[in-house]
Amino acid sequence: MILYWKIRYLDRADRQFKDRNLYLNTRTLDPVTRAAVELVMENEKLHRQRGIVRYRYVFIEGKRPSGPRAPHGMDKTRAFCLHDYFEDEAGKEITRDEMIQILTGNPAARAIPPEARQHDIELMLAERTPIPLADVSLSAEETRILGYFVRDLQEMEDSAFMKDGPGSLTSGSRDTLQTAVSDEEIRSFVTIFRRLYMENEPANFKKAVAVFTKALGDHPFSKWVEGTAKQYETHLNATPDDRPFVAAGIRTFPTKRLIDVFLYTQYAHQPDERRQRQFGECLAQLDGNREILTWMFLTQMWKCALEISNAGNFIAEWFEHYCDHHKVSPDVLKSLRDHHAGLGTVEKEEVQRKRLFQEKVEQLAADLWEQAGRPDDGPKQFLVIAREQLAQVLK
């Protein structure tokens, strides 16, 4: 594999940004390092998470990678850059704050990320003050609300859909939705998500935020969580922006309507006439394209879940410290998974059937190999015929 990595770096001497081109022929690496580097580059998610940064030391600066080369066309070639990675002139990674400090000469300067919202900026610039804990006293009901919120938040964050995301939409002769998670895993996620999303749930996101902000008062963390909750509400009330697949301005339904019609027609309820009509109206605004509508639903639900998670983790961490300090335990029914370690440990019937069949194929291949006088290359050369013979007998 031939890798090209373009890096933006800041020269401390003249305070100018410059480009640095790095190259790597993975054939020059020892087998273990080569396998690790290629695995990172072939795994899109690890790549996005800056996994390659730990192998910065194996890259060289120059016009062409050195070392043995495969015949033309045999090596994969990858060119990439990391938008959140910067170096100084010596090749050492520097943060955005360090860049601003170099550029301004002010050691106290802070960089504001381009994606920062107003409440993010206010938290960054706020004076560090102790977080209220000892002087806070939650009622039994408030403790119960936060207890159930934290329980369900943890379940949501551990779900396959939360980790693998809403999938992708491929546009071609026809639009195609593809996801890493199964329909069953999406349904499982929706069951958890709706407990935090629905306003009539006893420990939903809005109620947890209200308890938390009341407990912390004017503390910067309280204001940040409140700001994130307002951003979440703005998101729900805004028209979902899912370009380039959906042109701006051709649909009018807000994100909340999109999520609600799926919850009330596909997941949590059997639809009544009103909800079914609303689903049809949303679909009509996309010219009847179910692939795009479902992709929009999954994407917007996932984004809302991320907003709940961002604020929820502040709440959960503070609540854990509160309970430890006051020696209280919320009156909450724990998740079934906390009581039954055996859930999901039994091999599924289909998996068992395939495993047993494969074991017998391998056994039969070994017998055929013995009958043939143990020719070179071992029993593996008989696997295909063994599979065919066993399948034929089992018909």
333 pLDDT band, cuts 50/70/90, is confident
Looking from the CA of 266 toward its CB, the CA atoms found within 13 Å total 21
Distance between CA 134 and CA 221 in Å, rounded? 16
pTM value surpassing 0.85: no
pLDDT band at 248 (very low <50, low <70, confident <90, very high): low
Least confident of 152-156, 214-218, 342-346, 380-384: 342-346
Higher pLDDT, 349 or 120: 349
Residue 14 has pLDDT above 80, yes or no: yes
Most confident range (mean pLDDT) of 172-186, 232-246, 297-311 is 297-311
pLDDT given for residue 41 in this prediction: 87
Q: Is 225 exposed, middle or buried (0-12, 13-18, 19+ CB in 10 A)?
A: buried
- Where residue 108 falls among pLDDT bands split at 50, 70, 90? confident
Mean residue pLDDT of the chain comes to: 89
* Short-list 189, 181, 158, CA closest to 267: 189
Only one residue has tokens 């190999």, namely 369
Task: Give the pLDDT confidence of 379-388 residue by residue, as tens digits.
Answer: 999 999 999 9
pLDDT at residue 170 greater than cutoff 60: yes
- Tell the residue number behind the tokens 């804990």, with chain if given: 133
Label residue 131 left, alpha or beta by phi (over 0 means left) and psi (-120 to 50 means alpha). beta
Report the distance separating Cα 98 and Cα 140, nearest Å: 46
Measured in degrees and rounded to the nearest 5, phi and psi for residue 16 equal: -120, 145
Asked if residue 175 has pLDDT above 90, the reply is no
Which 3 state secondary structure label does DSSP give 311? Answer: helix
C-alpha 49 chain-centroid distance = 10
d(CA 104, CA 270): 61
Question: Which two tokens mark 225?
Answer: 């969580």
pLDDT at res. 348: 87
Nearest to 211 by CA among 147, 155, 122, 156: 147
Q: Average pLDDT of 76-100? A: 89
* Best CA proximity match to 18, nearest among 60, 61, 68: 61
Q: Where are the alpha helices (DSSP H) in 159-219?
A: 160-164, 183-197, 205-216
How far is 160 from 145, CA to CA, in rounded Å? Answer: 25
CA distance 198 to 139: 23
What is the mean pLDDT of the segment spanning 241-264? 78
% of the chain at pLDDT higher than 90 = 63
360 vs 389: CA distance, rounded Å: 11
pLDDT at 68: 58
pLDDT tens column, 308-324: 999 999 999 999 999 99
Query: Looking at residue 117, what is its pLDDT?
Result: 82
pLDDT tens across 202-227, in order? Answer: 999 999 999 999 999 999 999 999 99
Indicate the pairing of strand 16-25 with strand 77-80.
Answer: unpaired
* % residues pLDDT > 70 (the chain): 93
**Residue 207 neighbours by CB distance under 10 Å:** 18
pLDDT band at 193 (very low <50, low <70, confident <90, very high): very high
Instruction: For residue 377, count other CB atoms closer than 10 A to its CB.
Output: 8
List phi, psi (to 5°) of 248. -65, 140
For residue 62, the model assigns a pLDDT of 78
Q: List the end-to-end C-alpha distance of the chain, in Å, as a whole number.
A: 45
What is the per-residue pLDDT for 230?
Answer: 95
In this structure, which amino acid lies at residue 393? V
Nearest Cα to Cα of residue 297 among 335, 260, 349, 252: 260
